[in-house]
Amino acid sequence: MAGTTTSQILAEMVASVLSVAVAPGDEVEAGDTVILLESMKMEIPVLVERPGRVAEVRVVAGDVIQEGDVLVVLDH
């Protein structure tokens, strides 16, 4: 698509993936939760900063992620 930009949602910390709320092709809006993480017994939602379409989901529930890992790729 001409004019399409891509962005990545990155892990901000080491955590476990509790659930994934999106799939490729889903439309998301700013503020939507795409993934729920657990770190140090706290649940941490991963939110979308701007609207777009999910191009890739690179994690599944149960994954242990590291800081900087790509979680979701969005097309805008």
Say which CATH topology domain 6-75 has: OB fold (Dihydrolipoamide Acetyltransferase, E2P) (2.40.50)
For residue range 11-59, list pLDDT tens digits in order: 999 999 999 999 999 999 999 999 999 999 999 999 999 999 999 999 9
More confident residue, 2 or 47: 47
Q: What does the pLDDT read at residue 2?
A: 61
Q: What does the pLDDT read at residue 3?
A: 75
Q: What does the pLDDT read at residue 29?
A: 98
| Separation CA 21–CA 2 (nearest Å) | 28
Checking if the pLDDT of 4 tops 90, the result is no
Domains of the chain, residue spans: 6-75
Give the global pTM: 0.92
Structure-token pair, residue 53: 């379409």
